[in-house]
Structure 1
């Protein structure tokens, strides 16, 4: 059984489209189809339902998928382990990051690439649930996500910082006076927030509920860039992690206020799959996270 055929199979299951899977693998669609057909012949089972397009995996394909993912990950980890004995690690490190923690990706990437100059890093913006699923499916090597709210299972975690929030409006008559604001101040403004598929929004909903306020945003988005654009142009206000204020540092239009919360909010940290043996890439990432967790934030 050839590893490349398993890689094509796993990629197709992820992309759910023959042309996209072939592109991701750097091959032609006929080559992908031929390799999958050979794999099915070797196993004596049909793995993929298809007509003129991808329909889905057969029950046999669904049963095979996690084992194929593990085989490919084990082979990659084996290569990394051998490489680590001979010298520095090489290859691409895949990191999933929740939007709320995206500013931390820069600090982590700098530490990883400085410590392991033979490595490259690919950062993906993902939801907290998407990060856990991607780690389970061996699609990423680690993630930066929430550690306390909806606690991820079967992972090794390194806390990096505790999230705090700010309230952002456009400068003008409707903006609060300088200083801290409370949730009652927030409730007086039309809001734009992340959508409820993102854990940051679910945390904010709970904090507002604890304060006796129902979150009813006038607009939602999946990025802070979009939220800030609406605050600047649409007469709306938003709540965002304090670490994102660098996006608007020095912007004359923005009025930023620390937000007083009644209880501590969640820690954010790096997570990797709790597996034995641990992939050297994941071990390197955890080591970098432990190092930067002890450093002050600029």
Structure 2
């Protein structure tokens, strides 16, 4: 039954029988047969079929909720028994918003010192994708904004507050200022994150509240690309202070606080709310709380 539920979750995620089979490491006929057997066992149709996958039935949507819960619990049980035999080991999958990537070594470094048999994979995603991956059991934890948009049923650990600065080249307009206002920043040639990023929605909102409109002449989902354009001297950007400082600024780049208002937004670790957690997620939450206490004391 567990294997069939895992196949069903993969199909719901991929929305394609062939890709779901590839994800599960089985042939398409094997996956299709398993889904039909699951439907027979439960006595309901789960999938709307045609020449291709057309979605889940209402019963399929409800079974998907149960499947995620059951498969999650089964994985937790397996990991707990493995940890009891061999100690903490395994792989942790994390998705993080681009502005949080620079702080992740503060979490993964100390964690791996304590648990050297644990490995990590980290991907950059927008805030909505982080939550979707978490819900679909495709990641173990996410790092995202905690306050601005609904998170759903998750456990969260606040890590730090984003505070926004104008990042501009020396000799450019406002580069000698001690601070700048949101309204003033709106008049500059800006490069910003793309509109699907919550950071961009936050910036748009604060500019609008100041009577300005965000009209960037360049957009990207990469903070490194934005910074490389600031280095040319033709663009300025708005970045959280923590990630801006992580680039190790050369002398010809200025980091200027944005005020009127001076705003901050909370970023933290999120994990699917369940008891018990897998040993890996439980240890990661513990490490996040240690990091949060350290950041708060700075």
TM over 0.5: yes
Q: Which runs of 4+ in 1 moved over 4 A?
A: 170-175, 250-255
Match of 1:99 in 2: 98
Counterpart in 1 of 2:259?
A: 260
1:174-253 to 2 correspondences below 5 Å? 174=173, 176-177=175-176, 179-232=178-231, 235-246=234-245, 248-251=247-250
SS of equivalent residue, structure 2 residue 180: coil
CA deviations over 1:24-82 (Å, ceiling 9, x no partner): 22233333233223333433433223344322223332221111111110101112233
Secondary structure of the equivalent of 2:133? Answer: helix
Q: Which residue of 2 aligns with 1:74?
A: 73
Alignment of 1:266-277 (within 5 A): 266-277=265-276
**Is 1:289 the counterpart of 2:273 in the alignment?**
no
Question: Cα deviation per residue 1:243-264 (whole Å; 9 max; x = unaligned)?
Answer: 2225642557744433335244
Deviations 1:187-240 (A, max 9, x none): 231222223322211221222233332323233332223333444569332111
Distance of 2:152 and 2:41 partners within structure 1: 36
Q: Write the distance in 1 (CA, Å) between the matches of 2:31 and 2:257.
A: 53
Which deviates more, 117-126 or 94-103?
Answer: 117-126
Q: Any conservation in 1 of the 2:169–2:233 contact (CA below 8 Å)?
A: no
- Aligned-partner Cα distance in 2 for 1:263–1:128: 23
- Are 1:11 and 1:21, in contact at CA under 8 Å, matched by a contact in 2? yes
Equivalence for 1:148? 147
Q: Gaps (5+ residues) in structure 2?
A: none
The answer to whether the 8 Å contact 2:168/2:233 transfers is no
Q: Which residue of 1 is the match for residue 47 of structure 2?
A: 48
Q: Distance in 1 between matches of 2:81 and 2:57?
A: 36
Aligned residue for 2:71, secondary structure, equals helix
Give the 3-state SS of the residue equivalent to 1:139 in structure 2.
Answer: coil
* Displacement after TM superposition at 1:265 (Å): 0.7
Maintained 8 Å contact 1:70/1:138: no
Determine the structure 2 residue equivalent to 1:6.
5
CA distance in 2, matches of 1:150, 1:263: 20
Query: For 2:278 and 2:260, how far apart are their aligned partners in 1?
Result: 39
Structure-to-structure mapping, 1:118-137, within 5 angstroms:
118-137=117-136
Cα deviation, 1:122-157, whole Å, max 9, x if unaligned, reads: 223222233333334433222211223236343332
Instruction: From the superposition, tell whether residues 295 and 247 of structure 1 become closer, same or farther in structure 2 (CA, over 3 Å).
Output: closer
Unaligned runs of 5+ in 1: none
Alignment partner, residue 30 of structure 1: 29
After superposition, the Cα gap between the structure-2 partners of 1:97 and 1:116, relative to the gap in structure 1 and judged at 3 Å, is: same
Question: Which position in structure 2 is the counterpart of 1:114?
Answer: 113
Give how far 1:21 is off: 1.8
Helix, strand or coil at the partner of 2:294: coil
1:172, CA displacement in angstroms?
4.6
Q: Write out per-residue CA displacement over residues 88-121 of structure 1, whole angstroms, 9 at most, x where no aligned residue.
A: 2222222221111111222212122222222222
Using the TM superposition, name which of 262-271 and 63-72 deviates more: 262-271
